[in-house]
Structure 1
Amino acid sequence: MRIHLALPMLLATGLLAACTSLQPDPGAAGRAGAAAGACQADAVAWAVGQPANENEEVLARVWRESSAGLVRPIAPGQAVTRDFRRDRLNIHIDRSNVITAIDCG
Structure 2
Amino acid sequence: MGQPRRLTITVSPELASQMHDAIAQGDYASEDEVIREALLDWQLRRTASLDAQAALKADLALGMADLESGKVRDFDLDQIVQLGRKLSGRFPYN
TM-score, normalised on structure 2? 0.32
Higher RCO by CA contacts (8 Å cutoff, separation 6 or greater) = 1
Structure having the higher strand fraction is: 1
Structure having the higher helix fraction is: 2
> Greater CA radius of gyration, 1 or 2?
2
TM-score, normalised on structure 1? 0.30
